Amino acid sequence: QQLLVESGGGLVQAGGSLRLSCVTSGLTFSTYAMAWFRQSPGKERQFVGTISGNGGTTYYVDSVKGRFTISRDNAKNTVYLQMRSLKPEDTAVYFCAAAPRLMSTMTRGDARYWGQGTQVTVSS
């Protein structure tokens, strides 16, 4: 059974930083592109960024470029989302997802497996 578990969310002031982690099990981690999505109440789940299986390629949505960094440790079956210069509009539940191939942008249907999400709240 494939399992993705996010952690690291919380409450932070605007301008602050958080690092999210997503530990996976039950999948051949290095063969999957990993992605982060986020969802605010009443809004569609939004693509944030993705990283290739070997970690050499990343793509981000424009609104987080230069502030967010995705990395992975294939030895630990873990993907990370480092978030800096956080803004109130970054407030959302953040989900990690595993996808069979790397895409420069993704929709919800492009991911095969999902975590349960972790809440990030940025106060102004």
d(CA 25, CA 4): 7
- The pLDDT of 28-43, averaged and rounded, is 97
At 61 the pLDDT is 98
- The pLDDT of 9-23, averaged and rounded, is 98
At 106 the pLDDT is 96
The 3-state secondary structure of 82-106, one letter per residue: EECCCCHHHCEEEEEEEECCCCCCC
- The pLDDT of 22-28, averaged and rounded, is 97
At 39 the pLDDT is 98
